[in-house]
């Protein structure tokens, strides 16, 4: 026979589990990278050491962008719950397992999007709010609902939404979209295909079972690996643009060259001699590449 204390503990554990399930829908690690890239745009948009007002504005901007990005991730889980259930990488998600209903997930996504948009509109500026909301629509609707199940170029076209965070960050601090922010956007846009295709290579059976027309499924491993190599070459050129445009100094340039050559090296080895383990290493290095590249921009901004 349960006691009131036991029942109370069970209720608390149930509430904590429910909160963790909702939190997992926001894809925290992905959203953290999004907010980090947006923060880089904010920092680079402010010359010199930021004032306290800049810090407060950046904090509110990060909060709003985090909420809207989390809403887009939750909506993605809602739309793809059937697909997620077929893939080992995503079968654990609460929506795929049926732990959270579609209605609850939709309400959660709507609440996050409304809260984030409200923060951006009231405490940042309308331009940032509309750009962020447009990114939500681009990812949650245009990419997830339309492009992803339609074309193997889904990652390329849909990558435009994922490349927007630096533009959002720059607009939050300045109220405008500047060429510098578009350069950062281009870097992420070109980084996205080799990043995701490396993942798709060693998860190809998952994607085949899901029915999604990912490039390794529709065009095979060799063609996909060639595309990864070509994109790393084009990405190398794009990573030089901050230095060429005058956004950074030699410190960033050295880091960008080393990281980009490393990415090209992984792409070349992957093309010449494929293995699932090498594809995993390429995927992991792509995360290091983008994070370290933007961290170098940040250091360069303050040290040089």
- DSSP state string for 73-104: HHHHHHHTHHHHHH-TTTTTSHHHHTSS-HHH
pLDDT for position 268: 98
- Whether 143 and 235 map to the same domain: the answer is no
Q: What secondary structure letter does DSSP report for 146?
A: I
Cβ burial, residue 51 (10 Å; 0-12/13-18/19+)? exposed
Cβ burial, residue 73 (10 Å; 0-12/13-18/19+)? buried
pLDDT for position 151: 83
Q: Is residue 194 a contact partner of residue 235, using CB atoms and an 8 Å limit?
A: yes
pLDDT for position 12: 64
The last residue of one of the domains, among 176, 194, 212, is 176
pLDDT for position 17: 81
Q: Is residue 140 a contact partner of residue 75, using CB atoms and an 8 Å limit?
A: yes
Query: Is 53 domain-assigned?
Result: yes
Q: In total, how many domains does the chain have?
A: 2
Q: What secondary structure letter does DSSP report for 304?
A: -
> Which structural domain range is residue 243 located in?
178-304
* Each residue's pLDDT expressed in tens, for the chain with a length of 304 residues: 556 555 565 556 666 788 899 899 999 988 998 999 999 999 999 988 889 999 999 999 999 999 999 999 999 999 888 888 888 778 888 888 888 889 999 999 999 999 999 999 999 999 999 999 999 998 888 888 887 788 888 888 777 888 999 999 999 999 999 999 999 999 999 999 999 999 999 999 888 888 888 899 999 999 999 999 999 999 999 999 999 999 999 999 999 999 999 999 999 999 999 999 999 999 999 999 999 999 999 999 988 7
**Cα separations (Å) of 208 from 37, 58, 84, 211, 235?**
32, 42, 12, 5, 28
- Whether 148 and 98 map to the same domain: the answer is yes
pLDDT for position 178: 95
pTM over 0.85: yes
Q: Is residue 233 a contact partner of residue 264, using CB atoms and an 8 Å limit?
A: yes
- Whether 41 and 156 map to the same domain: the answer is yes
* CATH code where residue 123 lies: 1.10.357.140
- Whether 75 and 218 map to the same domain: the answer is no
Residues whose CB falls within 8 Å of the CB of residue 128, separated by 6 or more in sequence, listed in order: 61, 64, 120, 168, 171, 172
- Whether 62 and 184 map to the same domain: the answer is no
Query: Is 3 domain-assigned?
Result: no
pLDDT for position 8: 60
**Which segments of 80-178 does DSSP mark as H helices, in order?**
81-86, 94-97, 102-123, 126-137, 154-162, 165-174
pLDDT for position 4: 58
Provide the greatest CA pair distance for the chain. Answer: 73
**Cα separations (Å) of 128 from 47, 116, 170?**
20, 11, 9
Our measurement of the distance from residue 208's CA atom to the centroid of its chain's CA atoms, rounded to an integer in Å, reads 23
Calpha distance 73→196 (Å, rounded)? 16
pLDDT for position 2: 52
The last residue of one of the domains, among 140, 156, 176, is 176
């Amino acid at each position: 026979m349960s006691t009131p204390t036991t029942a109370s503990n069970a209720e608390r554990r149930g509430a904590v589990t429910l909160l963790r399930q909702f939190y997992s829908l926001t894809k925290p690690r992905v959203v953290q990278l999004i907010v980090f890239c947006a923060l880089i745009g904010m920092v680079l948009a402010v010359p010199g050491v930021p004032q306290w007002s800049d810090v407060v504005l950046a904090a509110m901007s990060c909060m709003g962008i985090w909420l809207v990005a989390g809403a887009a991730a939750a909506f993605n889980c809602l739309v793809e719950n059937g697909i997620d259930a077929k893939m080992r990488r995503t079968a654990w998600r609460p929506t795929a397992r049926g732990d959270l209903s579609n209605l609850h997930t939709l309400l959660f996504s709507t609440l996050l999007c409304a809260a984030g948009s409200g923060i951006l509109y009231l405490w940042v500026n309308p331009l940032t709010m509309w750009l962020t909301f447009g990114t939500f629509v681009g990812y949650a609707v245009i990419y997830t609902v339309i492009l992803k199940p339609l074309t193997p170029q889904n990652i390329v076209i849909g990558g435009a939404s994922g490349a927007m965070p630096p533009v959002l960050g720059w607009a939050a601090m300045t109220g405008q979209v500047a060429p510098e922010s578009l350069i950062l956007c281009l870097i992420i846009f070109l980084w996205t295909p080799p990043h995701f295709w490396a993942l798709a290579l060693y998860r190809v059976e998952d994607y085949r079972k899901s029915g999604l027309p990912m490039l390794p499924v529709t065009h095979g491993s060799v063609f996909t690996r060639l595309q990864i190599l070509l994109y790393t070459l084009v990405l190398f050129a794009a990573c030089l643009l901050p230095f060429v445009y005058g956004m950074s100094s030699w410190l960033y340039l050295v880091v960008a060259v080393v990281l980009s050559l490393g990415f090209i090296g992984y792409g070349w080895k992957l093309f010449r001699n494929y293995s699932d383990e090498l594809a995993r290493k390429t995927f992991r290095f792509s995360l290091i590449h983008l994070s370290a590249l933007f961290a170098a921009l940040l250091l360069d901004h303050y040290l040089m």
